[in-house]
Structure 1
Amino acid sequence: MSEVSHQSPASVIMPVILSGGSGTRLWPLSRKLFPKQFLALVGECSMLQDTCKRLIGIESLAPLLICGDDHRFTVAEQLREAKVSHTGIVLEPAGRNTAPAVALAALQSMQQRTEDPLLLVLAADHVIKDVAAFQSSVSRAIPLAQAGKLVTFGIVPTAPETGYGYIRKAAALDDSESAFTVEEFVEKPDLETAQEYLRTGDFYWNSGMFMFRASRFLDELRQFRPDILSACEQAMRNASFDVDFVRPEKSAFLACADESIDYAVMEHTRDAVVVPMSCGWSDVGSWSALWEISEKDEAGNTSRGDVILQDSQNCFVQSDRKLIATIGLDSVVVVESDDAILVAAKDRVQDIKKIVERLKSDQRSEAQVHRKVYRPWGYYDSIDSGARFQVKRIVVNPGAQLSLQMHHHRAEHWIVVSGTAMVICGEKEFMVTENQSTYIPLGEVHRLENPGSIPLELIEVQSGSYLGEDDIVRLKDRYARV
């Protein structure tokens, strides 16, 4: 490997986890405000939590997270639940694809560190079954990235997949053939082309994972897309900070082009290198893809939750709460969530996005949120609603508090089911314990807090002429939402 033998001094690794997404392909479980990286699709942990945990064993800093403003508290809470530390959460004012996101990460990492870190760029919504193989590939990439190469990880293909982009390799960098120069990046092929790619052995699936020095990525971005770099530099120069969140300046970032790393840099640089990876990888881009990687019974079915299958085969059936019973189905997907049910032929699941588009055009909430909505203090579950009332189950985490607020159009009754509530209502501050209740009149300034060490659970009954979430006037808020 003569071209990379003169290595720079060892660099610290900073994982960068990209946690974006619109939540369409795995609807109804995935929604715009709760996309798939926050779901536990293949185990007990969410995909974001699994992405963080597979870094254990790699000598690195705590990860830097990149996400949208709407997802900030969900990201922070999932990291807290998994006991994962981080070096910051950068909030994109809007989605602008991976090149600007990684530019923000590179700029932030170089502001935080005196040295030039190696960025290990990972998506938050991938499945990797063989963590040891993943870490081995990362280890092979380190000396290449230290020497100034821009490394991408190519997944060794197991089938003529038409849903992925491909990377064509060129010359090997050493006798062990553990890394190759990149010949080209190619778009998603048709089936015949994908079969030819598989036959030649010269192509890998494009994983969207990378490793490079922060400075090298910025140098290449400056050469090939100076407009993107300039917009990101201005956004970070005028960034604001609250709690763990870094907020790039909005107007500068909104002027940034929407571009992937591949298009902006990797297809143009002379230093692109691909490291093969065979680790049981999937981007879980559809329900059929999740069926492919899931355990199946003797009839080829994957079932989760309360499910009874009768004379059914090759199906994916998932229940959140209700019993699902099937009879005589073949290659069908059935997914039940708290407020919607999907039934689809397994070879038509790519059309789910058309359903989501219809929900959006009809301005239905099922495209955006679940019945259960997560907040920085806990969550609420909308149990029932009518013309002038709404009932919610509210859970407040220990030590957490809602904002000091008031409503113009509704009054509220709170009934404590478990735990202890500290309540401010007007000039009064008092405790409400299990089986007790209190009333918040319309227009009254109030706040709810959990001073205890166990979750506070209560039932809230709202009544009034308008019950939307935008009828909240926040006066003080520890989560900077005023």
Structure 2
Amino acid sequence: MLLPVIMAGGTGSRLWPLSRELYPKQFLTVSGERTMLQETLSRLNGIEHENPLLICNEEHRFIAAEQLRTGGFEHSGIILEPVGRNTAPAIALAALQAKRMAKDGEEPILLVLAADHLINDQSAFQHSINQALEFAANDKLVTFGIVPTSPETGYGYIKAGCALGPGFEVSKFVEKPQLETAERYLSSGEYYWNSGMFLFKASRYLEELRKYNPEILFACEKAMECTAEDLDFVRVNKKAFEQCPDDSIDYAVMEPLCSSNSAENAVVVPMDAGWSDIGSWSALWDVSTKDSNNNTIKGDVIAVDTKNSYLHSESKLIATVGLDDIVVVETKDAILVAAKDKVQNVKSIVNQLKAMDRTEHKIHREVYRPWGKYDSIDIGERDQVKRITVKPGEKLSIQMHHHRSEHWVVVSGTAKVTNGDKTFLVTENESTYIPVGQIHALENPGVLPLELIEVQTGSYLGEDDIVRFEDRYGRVDET
């Protein structure tokens, strides 16, 4: 029973402004037509496996579920992490859930993959997995080492030990090196980039976790004792999981295992599949299609006398003249302009935005919800204008606001409106008014998307001024 476990947690900031805290990079489309999460699931086609198990942050659950739905991917459930605790606890939750799901006598083998990796050669990827299956079946904990193509200083390394057929014993894990050390690793031929992908029996992982970090396993077992299933989601006990130590699988299990008397149980299988973890805009430029001037261009861009650059437009025209080795990324609410060799410092911008109590690090102007999306077109001191799209058959929560009133103008489609004790239809070019404190709801009863303009006025316009009374998406207890 091969069970893919897709780790879709994290709130990475390295691809800001496209990546945000509430819309991290695994949900972005960086190449082709599919998001990184969808690409991760797609490259499993051709391998015999059970429906994948997904792990993601509580705040990202509807984005993940929607991308699975629109991509046509079957799955075995979405485990929600109430707080981030790194990869060792996340995989422990998946292992415990896998054992719970297994039929009598079945031993789940977990294929642990990150949702935000790019792999160009699907055949080579699957070949390495097939080579590793025998090791996992024989109780080995397998990691996949990427065949290095350059002296990369942004990745950790794995040193290979004695040869074991298509793999090697893991000699040791090495932190991100300085350039001179990385060059030595590359020339030796003994080192691989640490991919963060793993293959092992669920029971073996839990056995080694119990041996080296029992406090992690104890907290995860407590968190899984009382789970609640809600739609596609598996909710773990928040209070118990918050007590779990924060640690990666490398530190919690793999490195102690390699240092022990049973180091032969850790195996690295080489993978040469055009892998990248897309850790920066320059890394994305490296793997992207380029024009005759060595530029990667996305969206509405005019580039004059510009070369070796990454230019990404989301909603406005980008025009460049006389640039070289530059990154320009435009979204509806932010523009990044950076030297390509300095993009690792983008995180400092995110930190400054946080310190200034701004929102551009956390959320996009256009925000996706389980029922559709809204775009904050204009914001004033006591007014805000949004363009709202409601998917066919979907309904917003029954709610009220303490500080704002709302005017709704239907642009296209038909709205079913609950306004106090009245329920009625509002069609194209018609409007309705929701007073402060009025209980109300909005629904799309049609087969086409509902588009409307919402004008909010009041003393406070924040998203937390929502009191939900009933919600089909389980958000009644949220603000």
Report the TM range for the smaller structure's normalisation.
over 0.9
SS in 1 for 2:68: helix
Query: For 2:290, which of 273, 287, 296 is the aligned residue?
Result: 296
**What is the deviation of 1:239?**
2.1
1:170 counterpart letter in structure 2: G
Please state if 1:274 is matched with 2:279: no
* Cα pair 1:23 1:33 within 8 Å, conserved: no
Q: What is residue 226 of structure 2 aligned with on the other side?
A: 238
**What is the deviation of 1:299?**
2.1
Please state if 1:183 is matched with 2:171: yes
Please state if 1:97 is matched with 2:91: no
Find the aligned partners of 1:414 and 1:447 in 2 and give their Cα distance: 12
Find the aligned partners of 2:100 and 2:443 in 1 and give their Cα distance: 36
Query: For 1:118, which of 109, 117, 123 is the aligned residue?
Result: 109
**What is the deviation of 1:61?**
1.2
1:142 counterpart letter in structure 2: L
Q: What is residue 74 of structure 2 aligned with on the other side?
A: 85
**What is the deviation of 1:442?**
1.3
Alignment of 1:432-471 (within 5 A): 432-471=426-465
Question: How far does the alpha carbon of each residue in 1:355-384 deviate from its partner, in whole angstroms, 9 at most, with x for none?
Answer: 100000011010100001111111110001
1:68 counterpart letter in structure 2: N
Q: What is residue 395 of structure 1 aligned with on the other side?
A: 389
Please state if 1:61 is matched with 2:50: yes
**What is the deviation of 1:240?**
2.2
Q: What is residue 4 of structure 1 aligned with on the other side?
A: none
- Structure 2, unpaired ranges of 5+: 258-262
SS in 1 for 2:234: strand
Percent identity at matched positions? Answer: 64
Q: What is residue 149 of structure 1 aligned with on the other side?
A: 140
Question: How far does the alpha carbon of each residue in 1:356-413 deviate from its partner, in whole angstroms, 9 at most, with x for none?
Answer: 0000001101010000111111111000111111110111111111000011111111
Return the TM-score normalized by structure 2. 0.96
Please state if 1:383 is matched with 2:377: yes
Q: What is residue 215 of structure 2 aligned with on the other side?
A: 227
Q: What is residue 367 of structure 1 aligned with on the other side?
A: 361
Please state if 1:49 is matched with 2:43: no
* Cα pair 1:23 1:34 within 8 Å, conserved: no
Please state if 1:428 is matched with 2:416: no
Question: How far does the alpha carbon of each residue in 1:191-228 deviate from its partner, in whole angstroms, 9 at most, with x for none?
Answer: 11111111111111000000100000000000010000
SS in 1 for 2:282: helix
Q: Which stretches of structure 1, 4 residues or more, deviate above 6 A after TM superposition?
A: none
Find the aligned partners of 2:141 and 2:156 in 1 and give their Cα distance: 18
SS in 2 for 1:284: coil
* Cα pair 1:425 1:446 within 8 Å, conserved: yes
**What is the deviation of 1:230?**
0.3
**What is the deviation of 1:186?**
0.5
Find the aligned partners of 2:413 and 2:129 in 1 and give their Cα distance: 46
* Cα pair 1:16 1:63 within 8 Å, conserved: yes
Find the aligned partners of 2:370 and 2:255 in 1 and give their Cα distance: 40
2:371 counterpart letter in structure 1: W
Find the aligned partners of 1:91 and 1:193 in 2 and give their Cα distance: 39
* Cα pair 1:118 1:213 within 8 Å, conserved: yes
Aligned residues: 468
Q: What is residue 161 of structure 1 aligned with on the other side?
A: 152
Find the aligned partners of 2:467 and 2:239 in 1 and give their Cα distance: 25
Find the aligned partners of 1:144 and 1:378 in 2 and give their Cα distance: 45
Q: What is residue 283 of structure 1 aligned with on the other side?
A: 277
Q: What is residue 218 of structure 1 aligned with on the other side?
A: 206
SS in 1 for 2:307: coil
SS in 2 for 1:366: coil
Please state if 1:205 is matched with 2:193: yes
Find the aligned partners of 1:69 and 1:423 in 2 and give their Cα distance: 29
SS in 2 for 1:262: helix
Query: For 2:13, which of 24, 29, 34 is the aligned residue?
Result: 24
SS in 1 for 2:133: helix
Alignment of 1:326-341 (within 5 A): 326-341=320-335
Find the aligned partners of 1:309 and 1:481 in 2 and give their Cα distance: 46
**What is the deviation of 1:337?**
0.7
Question: How far does the alpha carbon of each residue in 1:3-30 deviate from its partner, in whole angstroms, 9 at most, with x for none?
Answer: xxxxxxxxx1111111112231000110
Find the aligned partners of 1:471 and 1:105 in 2 and give their Cα distance: 35
**What is the deviation of 1:241?**
2.2
**What is the deviation of 1:238?**
2.1
Find the aligned partners of 2:411 and 2:107 in 1 and give their Cα distance: 52
Question: How far does the alpha carbon of each residue in 1:55-82 deviate from its partner, in whole angstroms, 9 at most, with x for none?
Answer: 1111111111111111011101111111
Question: How far does the alpha carbon of each residue in 1:236-264 deviate from its partner, in whole angstroms, 9 at most, with x for none?
Answer: 11222211111111121111111111111
**What is the deviation of 1:103?**
0.2
Q: What is residue 120 of structure 2 aligned with on the other side?
A: 129
- Structure 1, unpaired ranges of 5+: 1-11
Find the aligned partners of 1:300 and 1:479 in 2 and give their Cα distance: 46
